[in-house]
């Protein structure tokens, strides 16, 4: 098994830019997933949709690892960790989101499922760890949530309270993502593609029997659009996204990586505007500024943030 190469020194501008660029790519992959899921569940039941998503993505990453000459670990303890990570980061949240999106509007789903940084902050207060929760990050989390509501439009909150179980499922998915980000630190010595492949294969092993028993997929007649959505979910929103995710957990840490939950909202809205002709809420630009401020507060090291602030003030 090959261990991951040491991350670039955070002080190097090029290295910092690369990590931020990867955070934006991750946000794009997961921001687009809501659209893919919405199209997919139209003709494919949620459990089967997520089983196909995890299986295709896991096999794709396994093939890439074989081409690179990287072996999956043989230790049973590591595979138990992969199984737990699969439950927290794919099996439970993916299925909950797919089930909820059958009855919850996309705007409200985006708001409720983007609360994971707040839960990571609360988990950090409870269990501690290498990333000490700070007031700056709490304010960043609050700014991000306010920005999401402004971008999507507060009218999306009018549906709050209806389809209550589906909305609670979306919040539960956000809690799962928060726990997964905290637990993902145990894989920091591995090549990022290894825990991504291992956890997805474990997820597929759990979901495939459930799909067979619940949905009997051989009786389904999915539309071409749903099948293409599953493929896009597997390749872009899962295989590629998970590889980037585990790298960023190692280089940026759980709290900063979770900032993509806010960043993916303006990206997802922009995808809807460009490709689906959707209209922006009137307050979207203010919301975008809030989101970006929140992401910066949650991802930039404290010392660098202070230097940038002093440099900005000297300009006046």
Output the DSSP codes for the chain: -PBPPPPPPTTSHHHHHHHHHHHHHHHHHHHHHHHHHHHHTTTS-HHHHHHHHHHHHHHHHHHHHHHHTPPPP--HHHHHHHHHHHIIIIIHHHHHHHHHTTTS-HHHHHHHHT-HHHHHHHHHHHH--SS---HHHHHHHHHHHHHHHHHH-GGGGGGEEEEHHHHHHHHHHHHHHHHHHHHGGGGTTB-THHHHHHHHHHHHHHHHHHHHHHT-GGG----HHHHHHHHHHHIIIIIIHHHHHHHHHHHT-HHHHTTHHHHHHHHHHHHHHHHH-PPPPTTHHHHHHHHHHHHHHHHS-HHHHHHHHHHHHHT-
pLDDT at 160: 60
What is the model's pLDDT at position 62? 95
Q: What pLDDT does 152 receive?
A: 63
Q: In the chain, which stretches have pLDDT less than 70?
A: 1-13, 105-108, 110-111, 127-133, 151-162, 268-269, 271-273, 275-281, 284, 295, 298-316
**pLDDT value of residue 159:** 60
Q: What is the pLDDT of residue 263?
A: 77
Instruction: Please tell me the pTM assigned to this model.
Output: 0.76
* pLDDT at residue 303, rounded to an integer: 47
């Amino acid at each position: 098994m090959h261990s991951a190469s040491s991350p670039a020194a955070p002080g190097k501008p090029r290295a910092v830019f690369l990590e931020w660029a990867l955070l934006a790519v991750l946000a794009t992959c997961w921001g687009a997933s809501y659209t893919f899921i919405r199209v997919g569940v139209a003709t494919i039941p949620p459990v089967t949709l997520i089983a196909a998503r995890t299986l295709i993505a896991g096999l794709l990453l396994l093939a890439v690892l074989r081409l690179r000459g990287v072996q999956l670990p043989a230790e049973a303890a590591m595979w138990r960790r992969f199984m737990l990570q699969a439950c927290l980061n794919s099996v439970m949240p993916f299925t909950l989101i797919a089930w909820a999106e059958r009855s919850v509007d996309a705007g409200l789903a985006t708001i409720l499922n983007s609360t994971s940084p707040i839960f990571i902050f609360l988990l950090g207060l409870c269990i501690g760890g290498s990333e000490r929760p700070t007031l700056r990050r709490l304010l960043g989390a609050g700014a991000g949530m306010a920005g999401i509501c402004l971008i999507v439009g507060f009218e999306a909150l009018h549906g709050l309270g209806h389809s209550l179980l589906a909305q609670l499922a979306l919040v539960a998915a956000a809690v799962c993502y928060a726990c997964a980000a905290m637990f993902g630190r145990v894989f920091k010595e591995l090549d990022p593609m290894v825990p991504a492949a291992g956890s997805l294969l474990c997820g597929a092993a759990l979901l495939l029997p459930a799909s067979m028993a619940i949905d009997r997929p051989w009786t389904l007649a999915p539309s071409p659009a749903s099948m293409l959505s599953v493929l896009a979910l597997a390749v872009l929103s899962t295989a590629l996204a998970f590889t980037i995710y585990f790298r960023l957990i190692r280089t940026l840490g759980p709290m900063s990586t979770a900032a993509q939950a806010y960043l993916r909202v303006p990206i997802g809205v922009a995808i809807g505007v460009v490709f689906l002709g959707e209209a922006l809420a009137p307050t979207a630009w203010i919301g975008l500024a809030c989101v970006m401020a929140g992401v910066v507060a949650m991802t930039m090291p404290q010392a660098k943030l202070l230097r940038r602030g002093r440099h900005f003030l000297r300009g006046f």
